[in-house]
Amino acid sequence: MGLKQRQREAYNTNTRGKATAVLIIAQILFVVLFGLFVDYAPTASQQTNNTHHDPEHVKLESLYPMFQDIHVMILIGFGFLMTFLAHHGFGSVGFNFMLTCFVIEWATLINGYFKMIGTGNDRILLDITSFMEADFAVATVLISFGALLGKTSPVQLLVMATLEVIFYNISIYVGVGIFKAIDVGGSIFLHAFGAYFGLAVSRVLYKKAQTQSSKETSIYHSDIFAMIGTIFLWLYWPSFNAGPAADNERHRAVINTILSLSSCTVMTFALSSIVNKDNKLDMVHVQNATLAGGVIMGASADLMIQPFGSLIAGMVAATVSTLGYKYLQPILTEKAKIHDTCGVNNLHGMPGILGAVLSAIVCAAATRETYEKSYDELFPDSRSGTTQGGYQIAALVVALAIALVGGTLTGFLLKMLPGLFDALDENDYYDDAVFWDAVDDQPSILNEETKPESLQARTSKEDEAMAQEQQI
């Protein structure tokens, strides 16, 4: 089916004006709310005189490079990782970009509001940490987006993101604010939460046509583009896990994450060919399961897991993720009616749960003698390691419960008002032609109607040149 025909068939789905209206209204609302409630932190205003020796100036110089690393992960890593679909490259990268900028603004407000609870402050004060924390909220939403890739409209995605940021902050308020769980790299509150929030939405919005579309496939070049995302995520994941930490804990987080990712990658390559009947590597495994080592290490990155423990964690993550893509994902689709486009359960969900369990074990084994000065930094209220381990599991349970309930409620809202939220028709899944002014990437098979004007002109000139050569 040609692009023009697909665009004509998709015309009724993309109701003009809805996404535009949502974005403009939201942006105006952001301006008003920022004007009423947001200000620079003292270190970013004229209230202090920062010098190169000032602790807050050092904080900016220390955090900004890691913040930019995380920014690269969000925009290039997540964006390109989802370009594996043959007809959905624009939607993967483009909607990833849209959601990132939308959530940065929205999460800055919501994160700031939850920080104000109990402090007596009436202003949200912005510094570099505010945007790092906003990026973590962005990552959570993008993980959920992966489960819904190609099946939802921009309006649905914006509504989901708006609600998810609120539920995400509730889970952190309970898990970190009350339980004081340790989760520097987000195994619990980011990866597991984002995965199961998205899967809950996907379950409610499930239609059989999602599993039967011929467009839910990849091609050689789309898989190469997806590998760009994999490589960028792999390179910058140590910054993601270590960014919120400081001093020795940050150094330890970088070391643990690099070791876990390396071990995970080696194990993924080993297992991928084993589970293939032709003993060949599967690009899906290489694109995704190689990253599970960063996910499983998130909650334990700044703990004394020991280098050999990081290697073991990476091996376990690779095993669970690879086998999940091969065996579990088809079962969930067929039996549980949970369609997971990107396999976020295998990359983020199960490794995130394992990361929480790993952190509980490592905490339970912790002693003050082992951690020395780090103990009071990591374990709040002088808790014993065993007590902290219990709180790690409690935080996981709460995060999963809020994710599943919040995702289910969000899914029903989107399902009840499909016309308002511009829901896709069944023949529009996984296709850029619905929302993008696109051209086919195979010029040789285009007819004259679908060829871009520049290509038609170039072809005409080539035909004329060939005719002149024949006359000569």
Instruction: Please state the domain count of the chain.
Output: 1
Does the residue 5 lie in any domain?
no
Nearest to 315 by CA among 297, 299, 293: 293
Does the residue 456 lie in any domain?
no
Question: Token pair for residue 62?
Answer: 């220390």
d(CA 97, CA 102): 9
Distance of CA 45 to the CA centre of its chain: 32
Does the residue 212 lie in any domain?
yes
The DSSP secondary structure of 168-208, one letter per residue, reads: HHHHHIIIIIIS----TT-IIIIIIHHHHHHHHHHHHT--T
**Helix, strand, coil percent values for the chain (each to nearest 5):** 70, 0, 25
Question: Token pair for residue 357?
Answer: 């369990």
d(CA 264, CA 318): 5
pLDDT at position 52 is: 52
Q: For residue 442, count CB atoms less than 10 angstroms from its CB and return exposed for 0-12, middle for 13-18, buried for 19 or more.
A: exposed
- Distance from first CA to last CA of the chain, Å, rounded? 40
pLDDT at position 451 is: 45
pLDDT at position 241 is: 96
d(CA 38, CA 119): 15
Low-confidence stretches of the chain (pLDDT beneath 70) = 1-16, 46-59, 440-472
The CATH number linked to 423 is 1.10.3430.10
d(CA 296, CA 324): 15
d(CA 375, CA 362): 13
pLDDT at position 1 is: 53
Does the residue 140 lie in any domain?
yes
Does the residue 369 lie in any domain?
yes
Q: What is the pTM of this model?
A: 0.89
Does the residue 125 lie in any domain?
yes
Does the residue 154 lie in any domain?
yes
What phi, psi does 124 have (nearest 5°)? Answer: -95, 120
Residue ranges making up the domain that contains 258: 14-436
pLDDT at position 472 is: 47
d(CA 455, CA 448): 9
Does the residue 441 lie in any domain?
no
d(CA 258, CA 141): 25
pLDDT at position 6 is: 54
Q: For residue 328, count CB atoms less than 10 angstroms from its CB and return exposed for 0-12, middle for 13-18, buried for 19 or more.
A: middle
Q: Are 313 and 293 in contact (CB under 8 A)?
A: yes
